[in-house]
Amino acid sequence: MTETDFFSLTPFLILAMAPIIIMIVISIFRNYEVVYGFSVLSIIAAIASLFYILPVIPHSIAPLFIIDGFSLFFLGIIFFSALLVLFFSYDYLKHLDGIREEYYIILFTSTFGASLLTVANHFILFFLGLETLTLSLYILIAYEKSKNSSIEAGIKYLVLASVSSAFLLFGIGLMYLTFGTMQFTAIISAISHLKQLPPLFMYGFGMLLVGIGFKLALVPFHMWTPDVYQGAPAPVSSYIATVSKGAVMAVFIRFFFNIKGFDNPSFFIVISAIAILSMFVGNILAIQQKNIKRLLAYSSIANMGYLIIILLTGSDKGIHSAIFYLITYFITTIGAFGVISLLSTKYKEAEKINDYKGLFWKKPWIAAVFTLCMLSLAGIPITAGFISKFYIIYEGMRAGLMILIFSMVINSVIGLYYYLRVITTMFSSTDNVELPTVSFIGKMTLAIITIGILVLGVYPGWLIDFIVKYATL
Amino acid sequence: MILIYLIVILLAGALLAWISGNRSSIWPRIISLVTLSVDLLLLVIYLFQTVSFSNKWLIDIQYEWIPQFGIGLHFALDGLSLLMLMLTFFLGIISVLISWKEINTRVGFFHFNLLLILAGIAGVFLSLDLFLFYFFWELMLVPMYFLIGIWGHENRTKAAYKFFLYTQASGLLMFISILALYFVHGNSTGIYTFDYIQLLGTHMSASTSMWIMSGFLAAFLVKLPVVPLHNWLPDAHSEAPTAGSLILAALLLKTGAYGLLRFIVPLFPTASVTFAPIGMALGVIGILYGAKLAFAQTDLKRLIAYTSVSHMGFVILGIFSFNELAYQGVVMQMLAHGISTGALFIMAGQLSERIHTRDINTMGGLWEKAPFMGAIGLIFSMASLGLPGLGNFIAELLILIGAFKANVVMSVLACLGLIAATLYSLRILQKVFFGPKNTDWKMKDLNIREKMISGSLVIIILGLGIFPQPVFDIAKPALLKTLDNYIEKPVINSDSNKSETTKSETNLNSKLFFYK
């Protein structure tokens, strides 16, 4: 291992060190504020280190790692999302009984797992990262041990994730059987000599797709999503919706674009079908939800459906639009779940849509942020969601994917219906419900998210430039 | 720069109004009034400085916005948009004034939404970049949704939903069309841009042009609205608060008509000629069907809403006649309908403020209680049925003459609409102000504020009816520019459609020369 190798792994070293240090700190002196402060600083340090290693990329450490602009971008997105989740976790965990500090240890290990996925150049690293992420997520989901729903969600995730991992492993095995290697670059160069993909490889890829579809909550592998989102603590739900999906998306985009999966007619049809199904099923089921966390779960299914359209564009520009979409979707989703977690108390999770009745007249600013998040998810102008939807439609139309684009448009209208319902509820008449006071950290984070949504909605050019400059495979 | 100021002033006023609403309920009203007056004043000053209205854009400014996609901040002003903007700001002031006593809850947020809608409408009238246009087109929806959904009447939630879903769904179709146009233009010239001026005269095959146009049409025809896409309108109009109904009827519907004039006609010359018979038929159906439904309503606001459907039928009839006379009528109709229907909605609002009902079967004999209000009602009912001397007469007459040159049958059928208009207008008067007293209401006549509002509207409608020439002069260059493709050069875009196109063009030209 050379010095540059070591140097380029700085972000991972920071992420790996942080939980160990927190563990030592807890064993000596258990204090919530100290642990929290250290966690925030570590994540910020990890973000800063991305700029620090910028001069050495692209750099690959054979056979496992490849650190290029694309992975740095996803690392940035993941770390920043984790930071926002961390901010919202402060209030949420503060009123929790029992041990709270360990939550941050596990948040770090899962982020570490997620970040490994972005640099994976080998199925082993892919699988290791994914399992580190998933194992940590079981604990995070079931973190509120006193709640039955939390435990139930944890077990559900555990069982279904194990099944999907089995599929994934089998798929990887079949690909290994075909080419005798598990390294992405080796597989790609092996494929490039072939006229047609070998059937065994295609079966393997199908199995892989099952595993990935599960992690991204694509129809028909979406069953776990609403239950887990509902049962998990609100910040953890937002973490699953963003960091875990983003990381899996990163590795999937890398693999799919490199093997040129979009040129293969059967992959094309399968992915189109999954995209269309995810949009329709997600949006139509979301209409009937009375629980806001379930509603957001179904909305995330639909959003992932929009996103995988990009896989079929088969161009670098498509990848740029996917990254832009992920950024705006992450900000918006974390904002929405953030509001939920800020309004939850020790005794009651603010998860019924009816809990938000009259919120606009009791806490106008928080309600305004929530409204903005809903409008952004619905893709209404001046919000970031509008530009990102535009970007996807733009790239989709450029690639001529008209059926997918039309179903996206139809679904935008369906989606609007339930997002508006949430907004309407907030405007309806008031009944007097006690709402918790929101701490400074919570308010500041909401402010960051608001600014993010508005700035990206009105003036997105700089971010697009930034993406185009760095995020290429 | 003045164009950007107009919008920025509105947006700043909106934010200020919201923030100041926490302190007292008078500040948002004053701030909105000042904001709108400043905008109107800027325009009026500009109008007096402008010596001549030439064929060019009066003001044309362009900045980069998102250069990666070829999106620019391109605002421009010509006679047409100038007139529409003046109507917007004037009726904006009126809607603040009529809400003075009606809106007592969440005043700050109400005015925030009001000014935001007006900013959106002003943006629509000024944008010359298709992306920017769509941006403003969508921008006005959300605040309008709030306006109906929060301050509306009993069934407000359903009405607000319906309004939003209809307009958003049709808007998205337009968005797809905008992108399609963008790619068609980019693929043929290599310049990827949303700029209206550059997109003019894009070469495309007849079927492509038809498909792309239908997306635009969806958005504009829903907004206008045209039967059978009018379903959202009666609900939204009758459930909205008075200011909301006023803005919906007087301004929002006009954005649809404006879109047809500004985008459909110049961008798709051949396709819109092909579509013209259907468009004119839709117009005639709207005129007659709207009038019939208006006659059958018992809810006063719903009745007025259906008269809008009928009047907007004239607009689409005029637009698809493709001649200057009809277009002058269309512009006049947009202004006169804005004023007269707005005034009727204001009257309905004043009535329901006093007697808390909109059911005309419970009214009757109100003239002796409120003679001033009765007189106002009389004037605007007459305007609505097209009495000479009032703006609507000029408008409808010009449209009918223009349409007669293009299609005799349609024009004759549309004339029947005038009779139907007489029926429903007189029914309003009969049921509300004359006729037997069904209930003995205790009510006051208009107060000073309301007299001033109604009085100013009367002056304008009379002015439009007696001295229409200044409006014609302002609008003329813009309208001729719109009709450019239809008068001078026959447009041939594809070989397959060549003979047919030329034929219809020459047909049209001969008609136009006949008129000259």
ipTM: 0.90
In angstroms, the CA A378 to CA A373 distance is 9
Domain borders along chain A are: 1-162+228-254, 261-473
Average pLDDT of the residues in B287-298: 93
Write down the pLDDT at residue B497: 45
B160 touches chain A (CB under 8 A): yes
For residue B452, give the nearest of B350, B304, B341, B338 by alpha carbon: B350
Q: How close does chain A come to B9, measured CA to CA in Å?
A: 17
- Would you tell me which residues 165-184 of chain B have a C-beta closer than 8 angstroms to some C-beta of chain A? 165, 168-169, 172-173, 175-176, 179-180, 183
* Local confidence band at B491 (pLDDT 50, 70, 90 cut-offs): very low
* Local confidence band at B284 (pLDDT 50, 70, 90 cut-offs): very high
List the single best residue of B8, B64, B68 to mutate versus A (max A Cβ within 10 A). B68
Whether the CA torsion B158, B159, B164, B166 is positive or negative: it is positive
Query: Per the CB < 8 Å rule, is A398 touching B183?
Result: yes
Q: How close does chain B come to A62, measured CA to CA in Å?
A: 36
| B418-431 b/e (C-beta count within 10 Å ≥ 16 → b) | bebbbebbebbbeb
Query: Per the CB < 8 Å rule, is A386 touching B138?
Result: yes
Query: Per the CB < 8 Å rule, is A397 touching B164?
Result: no
Query: Per the CB < 8 Å rule, is B66 touching A461?
Result: yes
B490 burial (CB, 10 Å; 0-12 / 13-18 / 19+) is middle
B158 touches chain A (CB under 8 A): no
In angstroms, the CA B86 to CA A305 distance is 45
* Confidence check: pLDDT of B511 > 70: no
Chain B residue with the nearest C-alpha to that of A458: B65
Write down the pLDDT at residue B488: 52
Residues A420/A423/A424/A428 CA torsion (nearest 10 deg): 170
Residues with Cβ < 8 Å from A382, sequence gap 6 or more? A454, A457, A458, B135, B139
B159 touches chain A (CB under 8 A): no
Write down the pLDDT at residue A361: 83
Residue A19 CB coordination number (10 Å): 22
Q: Considering only the beta carbons, identify the residue of B139, B157, B183 that sits closest to A397.
A: B183
C-alpha dist (Å) from residue A91 to A33, A342, B345, B353: 11, 7, 50, 47
pLDDT tens digits, one per residue of B247-267: 999 999 999 999 999 999 999
Computed over every residue of chain B, the mean pLDDT equals 88
Q: How close does chain A come to B169, measured CA to CA in Å?
A: 6
Structure tokens at A351: 């998860």
Q: Considering only the beta carbons, identify the residue of A387, A424, A464 that sits closest to B157.
A: A424
Q: Considering only the beta carbons, identify the residue of B67, B149, B150 that sits closest to A461.
A: B67
Q: Considering only the beta carbons, identify the residue of A361, A375, A406 that sits closest to B142.
A: A375
Write down the pLDDT at residue A432: 66
A407: which DSSP letter? H
**Using omega within 30 degrees of 0 as the cis cutoff, is the peptide bond preceding A55 cis?**
no
B313 touches chain A (CB under 8 A): no
List the single best residue of B157, B173, B239 to mutate versus A (max A Cβ within 10 A). B157
In angstroms, the CA A15 to CA A243 distance is 15
User: Helix, strand, coil % (nearest 5) of chain A?
Assistant: 80, 0, 20
- Would you tell me which residues 376-395 of chain B have a C-beta closer than 8 angstroms to some C-beta of chain A? none
* Local confidence band at B154 (pLDDT 50, 70, 90 cut-offs): confident
Query: Per the CB < 8 Å rule, is B173 touching A409?
Result: yes
* Confidence check: pLDDT of B54 > 80: no
Chain A residue with the nearest C-alpha to that of B22: A364
- Would you tell me which residues 54-113 of chain B have a C-beta closer than 8 angstroms to some C-beta of chain A? 65-69, 106
Average pLDDT of the residues in B219-246: 92
Largest Cα separation within chain B, whole Å, is 72
Query: Per the CB < 8 Å rule, is A464 touching B168?
Result: no
Are the C-beta atoms of A217 and A137 separated by less than 8 Å? no
**Using omega within 30 degrees of 0 as the cis cutoff, is the peptide bond preceding A199 cis?**
no
Q: How close does chain B come to A402, measured CA to CA in Å?
A: 10
Are the C-beta atoms of B110 and B143 separated by less than 8 Å? no
* Confidence check: pLDDT of B38 > 50: yes
DSSP string, B284-312: HHHHHHHHHHHHH--BHHHHHHHHHHHHH
- Would you tell me which residues 453-512 of chain B have a C-beta closer than 8 angstroms to some C-beta of chain A? none
In angstroms, the CA B221 to CA B275 distance is 13
B187 touches chain A (CB under 8 A): no
Around A34, how many Cα atoms within 13 Å sit in the side-chain half-sphere?
11
Average pLDDT of the residues in B167-192: 92
Beta-bridge partners for B413: none
Q: How close does chain B come to A458, measured CA to CA in Å?
A: 9
Residue where the block lists tokens 């000042």? B34
Element (H, E) at A59: strand A59-61
Write down the pLDDT at residue B340: 94
Chain A residue with the nearest C-alpha to that of B120: A381
* Confidence check: pLDDT of B304 > 60: yes
Residues B487/B492/B493/B498 CA torsion (nearest 10 deg): 140
Q: How close does chain A come to B458, measured CA to CA in Å?
A: 37
List the single best residue of B110, B176, B185, B211 to mutate versus A (max A Cβ within 10 A). B176
Query: Per the CB < 8 Å rule, is A420 touching B164?
Result: yes
Chain A residues with CB under 8 Å of a chain B CB are 361, 375, 380-382, 386-387, 390, 393-394, 397-398, 405-406, 409, 412-413, 416-417, 420, 424, 427, 459-461, 464-465, 468
pLDDT tens digits, one per residue of B95-122: 999 998 888 888 999 999 999 999 999 9
* Local confidence band at B135 (pLDDT 50, 70, 90 cut-offs): very high
Domain borders along chain B are: 280-290+307-482
Chain A residue with the nearest C-alpha to that of B105: A361
Q: Considering only the beta carbons, identify the residue of B68, B106, B172 that sits closest to A464.
A: B68
* Local confidence band at B400 (pLDDT 50, 70, 90 cut-offs): very high
Residues in chain A where the model's pLDDT stays below 70: 431-433
Write down the pLDDT at residue B516: 38
Write down the pLDDT at residue A279: 95
Tell me the H-state helices in B190-247.
196-199, 206-223, 232-239, 242-247
* Confidence check: pLDDT of B508 > 70: no
Element (H, E) at B283: helix B269-296
